[in-house]
Structure 1
Amino acid sequence: MGHNLHTNEKTGKVSFAAVGEKAWHGLGQYVESAMTAEQAIELGGLDYEVKKKKITVAGGAIIPGYFATVRTDNNVPLGIVSEAYHVVQNRDAFSFFDSIIDQGEAIFQTAGALGKGEQIFITAKLPKDILVNGEQVEQYLILTSGHHGKKGGAIQIGFSAIRVVCNNTLQAALRNLSNKITILHFSNAKAKLQTASQIMGMTSSYTTELTESFNKMASVKITDKKLREYIETVMRPASQVITKEELENGYSNRFVKTVDEIMDFAKSHPTQLTDAANGTVWGAYNAISGYLGWVKPYKSQEEKMTDLYFKNGAKRIETAFDVAMSLV
């Protein structure tokens, strides 16, 4: 299944919960308004614990230095970890948000588990929104954590901003701001989670600087020619130097197709025709995130989420931010 969401064998429920309209896969539980932590844990299928268990082979011999991470509710193994690995329970992951908002406040938008429950994800809306030329931009945090011990299983927390009119995902990529952190599964992981807001520099200056940057983008017009140059700069493969002549000669059909698709999104999508976005650098910046979030194909929802928030997609959006700021 492309979505890779976990399905509880006992209840038959898919481990995914969200606010509002159904996701593309149509699975899971949906509520009308933001969830509390307890609701997100229950509806998102995250109400299970994980323990480390010794690994034995035939004859009862124990493999030294390695353990299996196992769900206690169904005894399903999730991964192999070292002795130093520290399990961070799903409920503990929510403690990060307690340092930002009052406990029990309904802020959670999505929550779920992937595979057999070896990877979880949570998104929450921050209390304060941003206004860009009168257009509302909501601030979000996403947290992912793995129980499998593999690469990508560390606790990762990152900022994003979502335009209310279209739900385009934007990585808030401000220079000199720590907009993403990684916490490894060691003994101090839970303590780091509880103070993560301080590590990330989550202060009022973050919102102020982000608002100023976005409004600068919205105040500067951009021509179609400059828009295409902007998209080419942001989306050009790092290992591939493409000249104008090579582009005209079809040097990279895939690259040209991508640029064309982003141009089309920038010029025709309803979310790009607002006063703040239409023909502005802000609109150009949003065209990149719009393409990555709505047009670009992904193999699975897991791949899409990981790419947009923590991998190549996030890097593209960071580049889009830097290049956009150079134009204002």
Structure 2
Amino acid sequence: MPALVESMMYVREKPWHGLGTRVEEAPTSTDALRMAGLDWSVVQRNIQVCGGAKIKNYRANVRDSDGTVLGVVSDRYKIVQNAEAFEFTDSLIGGDVRYETAGSLNGGRKIWLLARLPETEIVGDKTEPYLCFTNTHDGSGAIRVCMTPIRVVCNNTLNLALGSARRAWSVRHTGDMASKMHEARVCLEMASAYMNDLSQTADRLANTTVTRDRLREILDEMFPVTEESTDREKQNIQKLKNEYMVCYFAPDILKFRGTAWGAVNAMSDMISHNAPRRKTANYRENNWGRIMDGHAMLDKFVSLVA
């Protein structure tokens, strides 16, 4: 992913790739737009063949700052500018919005921003909710926004799929974008509902006892060993279980140990901080994708322990 990062700004902690502009305090949208190198616009140009004939129904999305062609899209595609993304997030959150990170990938084809919301508490733990916004300028994806709460004490994400509240929203770049952004604003104003439901779920899980025997059963179901499993596969499965137990007995889980909420946080710790079995070239990018989509392993674990 380092090669994919074109520009970015970040607060305090240096990212894994060492790129970007470091700032001490989270900036406002105006400063974040500039610091992240996103102070440019996208314009649409007609596409012509060598003979000069125009290609119907398609246009090129071009960055106005340097003429880079970001993608070829249909003439129904509606541009959402970088500045509009920040304006949308500002209006959605309201008040003094601060941005933790923002930037562009793939030569400007994809942009993201992460805004910090007011701190809250979930079962007595300080939790920082964040709003993540991603957009593409090459026609490859939708506008996407999601909530991602982070438990401060151990810095693990609580991206739990809740049947009662939506965590994410997306829409394609077609039709009346103004009305769709309004619909998104209405939907995302329900972010407080997600946080409320997450708090209620956490409270229920914190009052649900999970014995050591039950935990072993859940891990066996999460990471099954079959008759066809090779010795290598059995070793890897046992290593996963051992890594989980290390997280389960970590100090930050102590007050919830023996409960379903403690078990869930241990799995979130393991997913958030442990290195993957195989460090592929894009494993960091996949981790970023899980911020938006959630993690299937965590969702499965919650369904078993709840």
The normalised TM-score by structure 1 is: 0.81
| Equivalent position of 1:12 in the other structure | none
| Equivalent position of 2:264 in the other structure | 285
| Equivalent position of 2:5 in the other structure | 5
1:146 equivalent to 2:161? Answer: no
State the AA in 2 paired with 1:286. N
> Paired residue for 2:101, among 110, 114, 119?
110
> Paired residue for 1:250, among 214, 229, 234?
229
> Paired residue for 1:57, among 25, 49, 63?
49
1:321 equivalent to 2:297? Answer: no
Q: Distance in 1 between matches of 2:50 and 2:25?
A: 52
Q: How does 1:118-137 map to 2 (within 5 A)?
A: 118-132=109-123, 134-137=124-127
| Equivalent position of 1:9 in the other structure | none
Q: How does 1:1-328 map to 2 (within 5 A)?
A: 2=2, 4-6=4-6, 15-102=7-94, 105-132=96-123, 134-150=124-140, 153-200=141-188, 202=190, 204-233=192-221, 235=222, 246=226, 250=229, 253-254=232-233, 257=236, 260-261=239-240, 263-268=242-247, 273-295=252-274, 296=276, 297=279, 299-300=281-282, 301-310=284-293, 313-325=294-306
Tell which deviates more after alignment, 87-96 or 316-325: 316-325
Q: Distance in 1 between matches of 2:273 and 2:164?
A: 29
State the AA in 2 paired with 1:324. V
SS at match of 1:160: strand
Percent identical: 32
CA gap of 1:259–1:157, structure 2 versus 1, over 3 A, is farther
CA gap of 1:67–1:205, structure 2 versus 1, over 3 A, is closer
Return the offset for 1:278: 3.4
CA gap of 1:169–1:74, structure 2 versus 1, over 3 A, is same
Residues 231, 288 of structure 1: 8 Å contact kept: no
Q: Distance in 1 between matches of 2:231 and 2:156?
A: 27
Return the offset for 1:122: 1.1
Return the offset for 1:208: 2.5
SS at match of 2:194: helix
State the AA in 1 paired with 2:9. A
Q: Deviations over 1:233-289 (max 9, x none)?
A: 4x56xxxxx5x5x17x63595586256335424424786643344343223222333
| Equivalent position of 1:10 in the other structure | none
Q: Distance in 1 between matches of 2:36 and 2:4?
A: 14
CA gap of 1:291–1:203, structure 2 versus 1, over 3 A, is closer
CA gap of 1:258–1:277, structure 2 versus 1, over 3 A, is farther
SS at match of 1:275: helix
Residues 52, 70 of structure 1: 8 Å contact kept: yes
Q: Distance in 2 between matches of 1:259 and 1:215?
A: 31
SS at match of 1:100: helix
Return the offset for 1:125: 1.6
Tell which deviates more after alignment, 111-120 or 91-100: 91-100
**Unpaired runs of 5+ in structure 1?**
7-14, 237-241
How many residues in Structure 1 have an aligned counterpart in Structure 2?
A: 302
